[in-house]
């Protein structure tokens, strides 16, 4: 079936670009007519990938109906790595919609599957988003806890920029809780890191 092969290969290609070139991933997926997809496994993969591409490109997501297709399929078929990504994406969607309790639940469900995730970068992203949820809900102590975890995994992944962002978020939490000396120490560390990066360029 040529049409099926085309959809499958397009989705695989889009997935390969998702991290380094999400705009290209989105452009590839946007060529697929979702209503023409017949197999449930392909519908689920498209639902996950398209939601990921929308989120990474800062496109507006209207509701959770598409990503829930992926959540339901991967839950039923116990595809744990894809289910982790689906719950993570569901949490991101709820965050965009400012449905923070729902986002916290979705991220917590992703966290339960974290041992099935090989990518330290993905783990860092999850904890960073969890920190954002609690920060936006003014629970700065819990937010700091998750940002510290995010820093650990971003550092393991060698993602210096993301590590710095997570450390900045920790500093912001400390400002909110009145730990000004602790926040200043982190800000100074980030300034030194920025200067060292600039000196290499």
What average pLDDT score do residues 19-47 get?
94
Tell me the per-residue pLDDT of 83-135, one tens digit each, with 9 for 90 and over.
Answer: 999 999 999 999 999 999 999 999 999 999 999 999 999 999 999 999 999 99
- For the residues 70-76, what does the mean pLDDT come to? 98
- Residue 2 is predicted with a pLDDT of 44
Residue 41's contacts (CB-CB under 8 Å, 6 or more residues apart) are 73, 77
Question: What pTM value is reported for the model?
Answer: 0.90
**CB-based burial label for 28 (10 Å; 0-12, 13-18, 19+):** buried
When the pLDDT of each residue in the chain is averaged and rounded to a whole number, the result is 93
What is the per-residue pLDDT for 5?
75
With a cut of 80, say whether residue 55 has pLDDT above it. Answer: yes
Here the tokens at position 131 are: 């920190």
Instruction: Please say whether the beta carbons of 88 and 110 come within 8 A.
Output: yes
At 70 the pLDDT is 98
Distances (CA, A) of 6 to 9, 69, 96: 5, 21, 32
% the chain with pLDDT above 90: 87
| Average pLDDT value for residue range 13-40 | 93
Contact 15, 25 (CB under 8 A): yes
Structure confidence at residue 195 as a pLDDT band (50, 70, 90): confident
Please state, in angstroms and rounded to a whole number, the distance separating the CA atoms of residues 201 and 198. Answer: 5
* Each residue's pLDDT tens digit, 169-190: 999 999 999 999 999 999 999 9
Q: Are 48 and 85 in contact (CB under 8 A)?
A: yes
What number of other Cβ atoms are within 10 A of residue 171's Cβ? Answer: 23
Task: Provide the H-helix boundaries in the chain.
Answer: 2-17, 22-30, 40-56, 65-77, 80-96, 100-111, 120-136, 140-157, 160-176, 180-200
What percentage of the chain carries pLDDT values higher than 70? Answer: 95
């Amino acid at each position: 079936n040529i049409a099926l092969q085309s959809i499958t290969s397009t989705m695989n290609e889009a997935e390969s670009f998702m991290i380094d070139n999400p705009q290209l991933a989105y452009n590839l997926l946007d060529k697929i007519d979702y209503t023409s997809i017949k197999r449930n496994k392909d519908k689920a993969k498209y639902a996950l990938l398209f939601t990921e591409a929308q989120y990474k490109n800062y496109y507006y997501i209207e509701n959770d109906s598409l990503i829930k297709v992926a959540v339901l399929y991967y839950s039923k078929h116990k595809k744990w790595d894809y289910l982790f990504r689906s719950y993570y994406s569901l949490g991101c969607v709820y965050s965009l919609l400012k449905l923070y309790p729902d986002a916290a639940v979705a991220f917590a469900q992703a966290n339960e599957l974290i041992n099935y995730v090989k990518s330290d970068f993905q783990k860092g992203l999850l904890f960073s988003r969890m920190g954002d949820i609690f920060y936006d809900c003014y629970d700065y102590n819990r937010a700091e806890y998750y940002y510290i975890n995010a820093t650990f995994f971003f550092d393991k992944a060698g993602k210096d920029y993301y590590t710095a962002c997570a450390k900045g978020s920790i500093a912001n939490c400390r400002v909110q809780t009145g730990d000004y000396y602790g926040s200043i120490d982190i800000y100074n560390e980030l300034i030194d890191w920025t200067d060292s990066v600039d000196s290499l360029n």
